[in-house]
Structure 1
């Protein structure tokens, strides 16, 4: 009898559900799509011949990746016609002082990483995640993607090159990340333009996603003065009505912004060498629907 049968097939799947969701979410950037993929994987798991499997985990990760890849291809036209920039649906949690778990998740699903993955083809993304995140051998990746092993090696190599260009040279600790973000939140809350500029890299990038339902910039804004001005202008447009709250956004310290008591955006910050180098602002209300109720009360 296989070890996984001792705890029951339902228990095996339940133990891997979080990992399968993370796999699907990294591929798709959508909580609802990831949930649908995990549910589809569950249905296939129910009808699988469990006794013949060498590894339940490997089988489930492969099935989940294949299902996510199919859905990503289906979504290609939708993504291409999306109004403005497309950012993932943020995963928001309370910003508890648990840097170990935060760091573990941040390396997997940070908005900065998912933004870069979005620049890859569906096959590049799948090959990279299977190789780097799950250490799958190239034979298995080739079988899943219907390509040669040499082609899959090239896919992974191209993905790595693109990701290296975006990777910070000096990754901050969770505590340093939280402290820098706290200082920025305070500066933004009092509309202190110069204090904000001091925390932003000179070539900082600002990417916003309104989904055609909320105003957002259709191009990437750059420059510390310009981005500080964006935060400053909102404070002056709604004096006394803007509030920031720390939260964990995709495993990293991030900010939620409220205007007139209603959530307006979830924000994630890419930090390198002690300065904010990129700001990702999700304003699309459909993507904010999953923010836990405890933040909204």
Structure 2
């Protein structure tokens, strides 16, 4: 059976549930990145657990590698169904936001910012399912090319090509760089001031010329239709439209998808989240607003690796 370079700490082999629980955060992280949905990721991990319990574990030399393979294959099955449902999705589709509390180590923050950011997950949506899986397995989870080939049922050379094509697309999009936290917090303060106080000047200075604003309401709540493009349109929307609805909300700064974001609540219920993407100069290139109540219902602290 396959051998993984990321097996984790040793666990008593007799503790079947313990082995799986040790692997769960990593599996959930992989599934979420492939699917862009916390709910679907949890389904994939649960399905993997069922297969684990039914498997002949005496024949499994490396449980971590075996579970990664099973989870990846299940994610690809779910991804096909997800693509069909997203064809009929009302309005803009955005990945489900997750709360990602992380420590202060620079490497950990860089890794989360690079591989859980909304802009990165949206870039993955442009890849083929196998390109997406191969890239994540190799570049994020350090899985070898022979293991990738076995997982995807392809030749090793084909796996290398999948990773190479995906990497070229992602590098060109420049969605895996980190923005200093103080710059992120500066933008958050300016964004809040523009909406609650109607002061747009500082916000405008921190936006790129071709800033995009997208909102996901899932057809369940009112939100902006289409994508707003350009500094003038985005600033006007924030100071005029959002001011009328959001000025009275409770604002909380939180780590969302590996970066600083905003959680807005009304009467104790989460009404929206806001996250951002940045260019290499630290200017915001995208504003992502999540309003879909189904995607907000699971916004809590979760261990995703």
TM-score normalised by the chain length of structure 1: 0.87
1:200 maps onto 2:207 in alignment: yes
Relative to structure 2, which stretch is displaced further, 40-49 or 212-221?
212-221
Question: Which residue number in structure 1 is paired with residue 62 of structure 2?
Answer: 55
* Pairing of 1:1-297 with structure 2 (within 5 A): 4-6=11-13, 8-92=15-99, 98=104, 100=106, 102-168=109-175, 171-238=178-245, 240-258=247-265, 262-272=269-279, 273-292=281-300
> What CA RMSD, in Å, does the superposition of the two structures yield over aligned residues?
2.6
**Contact kept in structure 2, 1:241 and 1:260, CA below 8 Å:** no
Secondary structure at the aligned position of 2:50 is classed as helix
Task: Structure 1: state its 5+ residue gaps.
Answer: none
For the structure 1 residues 146 and 29, does the alpha-carbon distance in structure 2 shift closer, same or farther, using more than 3 Å as the test?
same
**Contact kept in structure 2, 1:103 and 1:252, CA below 8 Å:** no
**Contact kept in structure 2, 1:17 and 1:38, CA below 8 Å:** yes
Question: Which residue number in structure 1 is paired with residue 3 of structure 2?
Answer: none
Show CA shifts across 1:105-156 (max 9, x none): 3333221111111122211111111121222233322232233333322222
**Contact kept in structure 1, 2:113 and 2:178, CA below 8 Å:** no
Task: Structure 2: state its 5+ residue gaps.
Answer: 1-9
C-alpha distance in 1 between matches for 2:239 and 2:103: 29
For the structure 1 residues 224 and 145, does the alpha-carbon distance in structure 2 shift closer, same or farther, using more than 3 Å as the test?
same
Show CA shifts across 1:38-60 (max 9, x none): 11111111222333333211111
Secondary structure at the aligned position of 2:70 is classed as helix
